[in-house]
């Protein structure tokens, strides 16, 4: 946890404010370019939070996503709160969350107020057809990277395969799948240790 | 306004599993208050899918604005995220304390694999919309499949992937690039 080193501890109020502002700005940028729900945020989180700023590790990111699935609320918000809290405690959690929702508030309000025919604008549809193709690639490349960290043995590959099939072909809630996967982890790993 | 806060607070408290999970709650609110109609909700979904940001937040903002103007657009999404923030901060505190416990480590070991699978499934969902045409295939055939696939989108995806591997730029760069390509070539 490099960010916990004394050198990075806030020296005073000014530094603290700057770090909070930093959280807000980074998460606002992520929120402003997350097209298509919380999962689409992953490639951006990986780049900004894991690679550039080292605010969290890839494993932690997976944990936050999984826990965000089975706790109430929007996944994107849950993940932002987790990371913000980890960096700067409760104010950090609040700032990261406000950051991630700020672009939505502005954009949706503007659309609701001024653009009544937003969906009929052909350039909007064209742009989004392009963005969707791009977002798929970004998500899969993020999954490949994170998968290396999560799928460490046969058991985890098995869990991955079962959850993938169930979530593609059944209506079972993701929350239930996550809880079951956690239970499997506890049972199999716990037993393995005793043996 | 207080009623709006309470209703969206409840929505945020009980909707588990992302933006679309808020839908049943929105239908409830529509029925109970008449603030908006079911038709409005389907409009909202379409707009939310074509704007950045989490679906749930977008919908709350849209509903809030339509019922109460700018104040509503602030109150509804804040009420929606309020319960999450409290719950997640609570969980973070607990996790910090028990992070090293074997049970927690074992649970997370299983959770990460599930998490990767759910994200992959979401990617496949987006891929279906992005690469398959909207027309239903009448009969199974290879030529039918060829028509069904949106080749322009596949080509763009290949270009983006090539760029991603070669240049490792920020994801925003690729998103903006794809939006521009989409507009220029009428995707």
B18 shares contact with chain A (CB less than 8 Å): yes
Q: According to the per-residue pLDDT averaged within each range, which of A4-8, A78-82, A167-171 is highest?
A: A78-82
Q: Please indicate whether, in this complex, the C-beta atoms of A160 and B114 are within 8 angstroms of each other.
A: yes
pLDDT tens-digit profile of A143-161?
Answer: 888 888 888 899 999 999 9
Which pLDDT score is estimated for A39? 75
- A 118-137: CB under 8 A from B: 118-119, 122-137
Residue by residue, DSSP assigns B103-155 as: HHHHHHHHHHHHHHHHHHHHHHHHHHHHHB-SSPPSS--HHHHHHHB-HHHHH
A148 shares contact with chain B (CB less than 8 Å): no
Q: Please indicate whether, in this complex, the C-beta atoms of A101 and B172 are within 8 angstroms of each other.
A: no
> What gap in Å lies between CA B107 and CA B98, rounded to an integer?
12
Q: Please indicate whether, in this complex, the C-beta atoms of B50 and A101 are within 8 angstroms of each other.
A: no
Nearest to A97 by CA among B168, B54, B85, B5: B85
Which pLDDT score is estimated for A195? 41
**So where are chain A's domains?**
2-148, 151-195
In this complex, the residue of B16, B123, B174 whose CB is nearest that of residue A140 is: B123
B166 shares contact with chain A (CB less than 8 Å): no
Question: How much is the ipTM here?
Answer: 0.75
Which pLDDT score is estimated for B25? 81
B92 shares contact with chain A (CB less than 8 Å): yes
**So where are chain B's domains?**
2-98, 100-125, 132-187
A100 shares contact with chain B (CB less than 8 Å): yes
Judging contacts by C-beta atoms under 8 Å, the chain B residues touching residue A105 are 57, 61, 73-74, 77
pLDDT tens-digit profile of B87-124?
Answer: 999 989 988 888 888 888 888 888 888 888 888 888 88
């Amino acid at each position: 946890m490099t960010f916990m080193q004394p050198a990075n501890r806030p020296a005073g109020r000014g530094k603290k404010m700057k770090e909070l502002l930093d959280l807000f700005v980074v998460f606002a940028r992520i929120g402003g370019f997350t097209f298509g729900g919380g999962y689409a945020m992953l490639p951006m989180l990986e780049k900004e939070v894991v690679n550039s700023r080292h605010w969290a590790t890839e494993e932690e990111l997976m944990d936050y996503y999984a826990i965000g699935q089975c706790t109430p609320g929007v996944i994107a918000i849950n993940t932002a709160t987790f990371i913000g809290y980890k960096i700067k405690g409760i104010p950090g959690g609040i700032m990261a969350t406000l950051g991630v929702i700020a672009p939505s508030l502005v954009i949706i309000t503007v659309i609701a107020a001024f653009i009544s025919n937003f969906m009929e604008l052909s350039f909007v549809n064209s742009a989004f057809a392009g963005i969707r193709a791009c977002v798929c690639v970004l998500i899969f490349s993020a999954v490949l990277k994170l998968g290396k960290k999560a799928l460490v043995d046969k058991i985890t590959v098995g869990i991955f395969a079962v959850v993938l099939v169930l979530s593609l072909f059944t209506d079972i809630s993701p929350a239930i799948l996550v809880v079951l996967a956690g239970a499997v982890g506890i049972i199999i790993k716990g037993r393995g240790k005793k043996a | 306004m207080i009623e709006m806060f309470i209703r969206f607070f409840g929505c945020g408290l009980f909707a588990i599993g992302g933006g679309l999970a808020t839908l049943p709650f929105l239908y409830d609110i529509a029925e109970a208050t008449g603030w908006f109609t079911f038709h409005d909700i389907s409009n909202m979904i379409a707009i939310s899918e074509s704007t950045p940001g989490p679906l749930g937040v977008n919908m709350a903002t849209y509903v809030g604005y339509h019922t109460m103007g700018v104040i509503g657009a602030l109150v509804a999404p804040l009420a929606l995220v309020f319960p999450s923030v409290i719950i997640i901060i609570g969980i973070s505190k607990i996790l910090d304390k028990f992070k090293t416990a074997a049970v927690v480590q074992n649970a997370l070991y299983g959770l990460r694999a599930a998490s990767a699978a759910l994200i992959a499934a979401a990617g496949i969902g987006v891929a279906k919309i992005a690469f398959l045409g909207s027309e239903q295939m009448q009969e199974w055939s290879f030529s039918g499949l060829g028509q069904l696939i949106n080749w322009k989108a596949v080509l763009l995806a290949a270009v983006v992937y090539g760029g991603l591997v070669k240049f490792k730029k920020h994801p925003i760069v690729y998103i903006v690039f794809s939006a521009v390509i989409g507009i220029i070539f009428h995707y």
